Chains A and B, each alone.
Chain A
Amino acid sequence: MEKRVYETLHEELFYEKMDNGLDVYILPKKGFNKTYATFTTNYGSVDNQFVPLGKTEMKRVPDGIAHFLEHKLFEKEDGDVFQQFSKQGASANAFTTFTRTAYLFSSTDNVEKNLETLIDFVQSPYFSDKTVEKEKGIIGQEIRMYDDNPDWRVYFGAIESMYHNHPVKIDIAGTVESIAQITKELLYECYETFYHPSNMLLFVVGPVDEQKIMQQIRDNQAKKSFPQAPEVKRFAYEEPSAVAEKKKVIPMHVQTNKCFVGIKAPSVPEAGEQKLRHELAFHVALDYLFGKSSPHYERLYREGLIDDTFMYDYTEERGFGFALVGGDTRDAERLASEIQTVLLSFAAETIKKEEFERVKKKKIGAFLRALNSPEYIANQFTRYAFYGSNLFDILPALSSLTMDDIAAVASSCFRDSQIAVCEVVPKGQ
């Protein structure tokens, strides 16, 4: 077991790679009641074409299958794992993103028992025709719920506009039609390909004894056998660097207009510190331009073009990166054009040192605040680890970020060819 000390942050992290390839991290947190653990596979909704384990040909699977599998893994021959967790006083959950599927629990008691349950249920799939069919009704209602949600529609609409081919444009849950094609055989095939321990990471954070927990995990894994698995071959989608569609308008039964401007990164670094810096630089650039202390925010707010729903965020994952800026507005057209003007007129020579340093300070405070949350630590640590970066490097990376770093982001991404707009407008307007 390896110990990593982050002195400035007063944190100690323990790491070990299991014989079967599973990466395990433990972050003891004294003073907390809760232990939070995530068991995550490097597999999400964009992984819809790959070479299944033991095969040689690429295979395209139905959209939404990673998310479907996440739902189904909770069901076993003898019942529902949620029941098991709640008997042990834990609350369990799971989520699927573009590139990851995570299973988790939090509990203040019976931590070892709950950890055992988590590892074992994720590592023992049970899919049957009957339970697969039943799930289609439940996920169908989950999809309907999002269909009626204008915030989700405008958010996802903007992503759709940016991409030509990349499956990031496909809703994580798929569609009612695509999930209809899912079978138990397909679920097993995806499971065997992506849930191999060497493609997974286990993170435990809370008031735990790291020695005991690591030993428990070692013992648990030693009892199980897994086939040899080569690194998964995923289909590499050809994606043009420019956006697919400049503007999309979705009429809905709403009272308020919604507008998001999407900014597509033409390319993103593959891994490591470089990737971390690129992502941070993008975040700082957005904060510099659109934060509440920026002149643009003040002006747009005064003109009534934005309100407290205004947000901006940058998402960078395996092979893609995009930002979204916008929110509710009285005039979607004007807001879209104002945001684009701000982006396009941003250039290296306009960056003010004092404001840049202030944004960095703000980011440092926000990072410390985020570390109050065990959920943030486990989820984000895992995300960075899958790209060979380290969450705890954020502090030094932020401190050393330069104006050149954000100028580089601006010159490659804040261009007309990289910008798409999506609006939700009241029906009949």
Chain B
Amino acid sequence: MVDEKVTAVGPVRVHTISTDKYKTNTIVWKMKAPLAKETVTLRALLPYVLQSGTADYPSVKALRTYLDELYGATLNVDLTKKGEHHIMTIRIDVANERFLPEQTPLLSKALQLLADLLFRPALDGGRFVTDIVEQEKRALRQRIQAVYDDKMRYANMRLVEEMCKGEPYALSPNGELEDVDGITAEGLYRYYERALAEDELDLYVIGDVAEEAVLTAVKQRFSLPDRPKRERASSVSVKPQGEVREVIERQDVKQGKLNIGYRTNVTYEDDDYYALQLFNGIFGGFSHSKLFINVREKASLAYYAASRLESHKGLLMVMSGIEPANYEKARRIIDEQMQAMKNGDFTDEEMAQTKAVIRNQLLETLDTPRGLVEVLYHNVVSTRKRPIDEWIAGTDQVTREDVVRVADKVELDTVYFLTGMEATEDGKTGV
């Protein structure tokens, strides 16, 4: 279904997916390391500094001018966490020259550019350029702060912080505000050398290209030392002992955000992974799911009410936006849906429907270069390898008993509610 060829070139796993379905060719570079307080902010900054200049194009303006010349090649970077891994991503996308009047070899130029970004950054006396680092520190601070102004993201972040207190997973992939100031051009350069020497490295090339050509280009341009094999830290966690935590936070908002976190005790590594996907699909993943039907369509309480999984960490998160006064009502309805799942109170039709939708969602994701890479990258993050064909068959084979067994493992952990300053239904007034 997906023709992925993987070959190691030194420490770089090169993944080639040859296809002629796109009008552009895509390069994705991923660097993975454990998520940790000491490095999270350095990593959050590093790819932004790298995309600000190379030895040949030492400023954003010079670099972006070059990208425009390559028929508007796009270059962007981001940070994510998958389980307790912190992943830096650099993406370059270039037009396929067969659609252009000019036959410039754009893909090979793009690979060269990626190599330059990684191995020949703009430097000043053996360290990063101070001006660039300072500019990007400022942008990073703004990026961290921006979350506070987007209440949906803010509520998601706060739930994870509360729920995973003391676990690395509580860290945000964009780093910690208090650690930004202390970063220097020297310190960041030292970390850059360390990351290139120690991180797990993956390069994906998707497009109208043969694997041989990619490997030849990579061998010429990417030369990196081998690295010791790292112990894999397990991301899985169990619910700490004790009561369900309830956190209520007040701000000047009109809509309350009710976010609820559960521990699934099932992850990508487990046999029950496909059953977990199905559980989430019936419970809250789609517009036919119990949450959407009961919170939104029947009770008219919310515009959005949904759940999503973090399948490497084993978390299930419910999110909804409600009138502050409807807190108790919404919680009750959400609890009832969870109980229904545990009781096996769902129809065969819901099972079939959810299987069809999951299958469709997967196939659609594979249609975009970006989605395709994200699906394939699960197999890098996890020790458990799941080829794409297995996803489809695995989902099809899930039985109602499997879903109930998974539901039974799901434990409520933390309830987080961001609400307005006004009095709520029980008459309490916020501060």
Give A residues with C-beta under 8 Å from B.
8-10, 29-34, 80, 82-83, 86-92, 106-109, 134-139, 141-142, 144-145, 147-151, 252-256, 291-295, 297-298, 301-302, 304, 307-309, 328, 330, 358-359, 361-366, 368-369, 371-374, 427
Contact = CB atoms under 8 A, between A and B. Distances in A.
B314 interface: no
Contacts of B73: 365
B93 interface: yes
Contacts of A365: 24, 70-73, 94-95
Which one of B145, B148, B149, B150 has the highest number of Cβ atoms from chain A below 10 Å of its Cβ? B149
A291 B23 contact: no
Nearest to A362: B72
Contacts of A91: 286-287, 357, 360-361, 364
A359 B68 contact: yes
B302 A138 contact: yes
Contact of B69 (A29, A144, A253, A361): A361
Contacts of A301: 60, 135
Given A365-B94, A369-B95, A145 B255 contact: yes
A169 B357 CA distance: 38
Contacts of A82: 287-288
In this complex, the member of B20, B71, B93, B357 whose beta carbon has the largest number of chain A beta carbons within 10 angstroms is B71
Nearest to A137: B300
A108 B94 CA distance: 27
Interface centre among B96, B151, B349 (most CB of A within 10 A): B151
Contact of A148 (B143, B254, B293): B254
Contacts of A107: 360
B368 interface: yes
Given A138-B303, A358-B68, A89 B357 contact: yes
Contacts of A147: 254-255
A291 B64 contact: yes
Contacts of B393: none
B384 to A, nearest CB: 24
11 contacts: A9-B23, A30-B21, A34-B363, A148-B255, A150-B149, A254-B149, A255-B149, A256-B145, A293-B65, A361-B71, A365-B71
A362 B68 contact: yes
Contacts of B99: 8-10, 368
B149 A31 contact: no
Contacts of B323: 141, 144
Contacts of A371: 23
A209 B223 CA distance: 48
Interface string B86-119: 0000000111100110000000000000000000
A86 B254 contact: no
Interface in B177-202: none
A364 B297 CA distance: 44
A372 B321 CA distance: 34
B382 interface: no
Nearest to A90: B360
Contacts of B251: 253
A85 to B, nearest CB: 8
A297 B63 CA distance: 13
Contacts of A255: 145, 148-149
A294 B252 CA distance: 39
Contacts of B139: 307-308
Q: Which 6 A-B pairs have the closest CB atoms?
A: A365-B72, A89-B356, A362-B72, A137-B300, A31-B21, A365-B71
A302 B366 contact: no
A429 to B, nearest CB: 14
B322 interface: yes
Given A328-B146, A361-B69, A365-B24, 10 more contacts: A34-B363, A86-B353, A90-B357, A109-B356, A109-B359, A148-B253, A150-B149, A330-B142, A364-B100, A372-B23
Contact of B356 (A88, A138, A142, A330): A88
Contacts of A136: 300
Contacts of B19: 31
B303 A139 contact: yes
Nearest to B355: A89
A86 B148 CA distance: 35
B61 A298 contact: yes
B232 interface: no
A28 B262 CA distance: 44
A293 B93 contact: no
B420 to A, nearest CB: 10
A190 to B, nearest CB: 22
Contacts of B302: 138, 141
B175 interface: no
Contacts of A8: 99
B135 A302 contact: yes
A108 B363 contact: yes
B135 A372 contact: no
B296 interface: yes
A257 B20 CA distance: 45
Identify which of B148, B288, B303 gathers the most chain A CB atoms within 10 Å of its CB: B303
B23 A369 contact: yes
B164 interface: no
B360 A364 contact: no
A136 B301 CA distance: 10
B227 interface: no
A424 B366 CA distance: 39
B300 A138 contact: yes
B74 interface: yes
